[in-house]
Amino acid sequence: MAIPRAAKTLRRTRIQEEKEEQILEAALDVFSARGFRGSTIDQIAEVAGMSKPNLLYYFRTKEAMHRALIDRVLYTWLEPLRAFDAEGNPEEEIRSYIRRKLEMARDFPRESRLFANEVLQGAPHIEDELKGPLKQLVDEKAEVIRAWAKSGKIVECDPYHLIFSIWSTTQHYADFDVQVRAVLGQEHSGEGRFEDAARFLEQLFIGGLRPELG
């Protein structure tokens, strides 16, 4: 008698890896565009090019699909913040953090929207990750920033809200892409908007907006 669910087997076959990959790729497409509740298994199945029961052979439920996707993407998503280096030059660290986050908004907008959808709707599936690993990581990096300020390397400021502001400004270009493009108009909606954004954000976070005194 066959073991009913592939997920329960210990060894993963080549087919399992390929199909699960295929499914998660499709799930990212759908979940990021419509949110968890707004997505249907049929839609994911269609994008993945497989039948619905076939999806459910690899992931027992819609929730399991979503969870596997979140788990897979979360680690990568936090990579830029993890790379934030206490030993580095503060200005350069902040600059490159912004640059990397903006690159991710440009190159991985679906991942950004996946989390945005989830958090926006109360984070029912990732509350633990937010309060646990995420908070720990941010606490750690906030302490780094605070130390920089203490030693006068950067100006004194609230490190948590600094991080929030970098998150929000950069991810805005992924999460609110349609709005950004609508406002910029067709002529400025090429990929050049990311370079403009990078220039502006560097000016904002590094250079400051106040006009230099005479």
Q: Residue 26 or 154: which CB sits closer to a second copy? A: 154
53 is a contact residue toward DNA (CB under 7 A): yes
- Assess 178 for contact with a second copy (CB under 8 A): yes
Residue 170 tokens, joined: 């950069």
DSSP string computed for 112-140 = HHHHHHHHHTT-TTTHHHIIIIIHHHHHH
51 binds DNA (CB under 7 A): yes
Residue 187 carries which DSSP code? G
The phi and psi torsions of 22 (rounded to 5 degrees) equal: -60, -45
Does 110 participate in binding DNA (rule CB under 7 A)? no
- Ramachandran class of 49: left when φ > 0, alpha when ψ lies in -120 to 50, beta otherwise: left
User: Taking the complex as a whole, how short is the minimal distance between the CB of residue 19 and a second copy, in angstroms?
Assistant: 27
Binding mask 120-139 for a second copy (x = CB under 8 A): xxxx---x--xx--xx--x-
Q: Rounded distance, CA 202 to CA 98, Å?
A: 8
Contacted entry of a second copy, DNA, none for residue 66, CB cut-off 5 to 8 Å set by kind: none
Instruction: Note whether 67 binds DNA by CB under 7 A.
Output: no
> Least distance in Å: CB of 37 to a second copy?
3
Q: Are 30 and 43 in contact (CB under 8 A)?
A: yes
Binding to a second copy (CB under 8 A) within 13-52 occurs at: 33-38
CB of 164 vs a second copy, minimal distance in Å: 6
